[in-house]
Amino acid sequence: MYDKGKIIPGIIVFVCLLIFPILYNSGSAGVLPNPEKPKDQKECVKDKQYMRTTHMQLINDWRDEVLREGNREKVVVQGKKYDKSLMNGCMTCHTNKKKFCDECHVYASVYPYCWDCHFVPKETI
């Protein structure tokens, strides 16, 4: 092999750099997110598991229904009406963005651009 002296150390350095973040964080999962749910509410529009995995899809679908189809019919769950809206729906119960949304989003390093346009309820600004 030509240039053995350069290639092999090069590969070793590359692999070390590659696995450094894994080694550095090994053994600790970090602080697990613990989103705070609204205290005065028992129900959401869907069950907990569904909301955890699919809330972004749901919000996306709501947006298209409201905007594109003009279907602003409220969602009724157990007699309670919810606006199909992030700002005027979700956030009326989940009033604390920091303790609810950001808790997981920051942990997963997900930064949706919702808040570039929509507002966070007053108390959490």
Partner 1 sequence: MDDKRRRFLKLAGLSAVAGIGAPSAFNLLLKGEVNASSPAPASHGTESPGSGHGEAPTGVRLGMVIDVNKFAENPGMAQKCVDGCHQTHNVPIFLDSKGQVNPKDAIKWIWKEPFENLFPDHSHYRRNDALHELPFLALCNHCDNPPCVRACPTKATFKQKNGSVIMDFHRCIGCRFCMAACPYGARSFNWRSPRERDENGNLKFIKNLNEKFPTRMRGVVEKCNFCAERISEGLPPKCVEATGDTGAMIFGDMNDPNAPISQVLKSTFTIQRKPALGTLPSVFYII
Least distance in angstroms from the C-beta of 36 to partner 1: 22
Least distance in angstroms from the C-beta of 17 to partner 1: 35
Least distance in angstroms from the C-beta of 117 to partner 1: 4
Cβ-based nearer residue to partner 1, 17 or 117? 117
**Chain positions contacting partner 1, by CB under 8 A:** 63, 67-70, 72, 87-88, 113, 116-119, 122
Cβ-based nearer residue to partner 1, 33 or 112? 112
Least distance in angstroms from the C-beta of 64 to partner 1: 8
Q: Which alpha helices (DSSP H) does the chain contain, by range? A: 4-25, 48-68, 91-93, 97-107, 114-117
**CA 65 from chain center: how many Å?**
21
Closest CA to 38 of 115, 107, 97, 111: 97
Within 10 A of 96 (CB to CB), how many other CB atoms are there?
A: 18
Contact between residue 62 and residue 68 where contact means Cβ atoms under 8 Å apart:
no
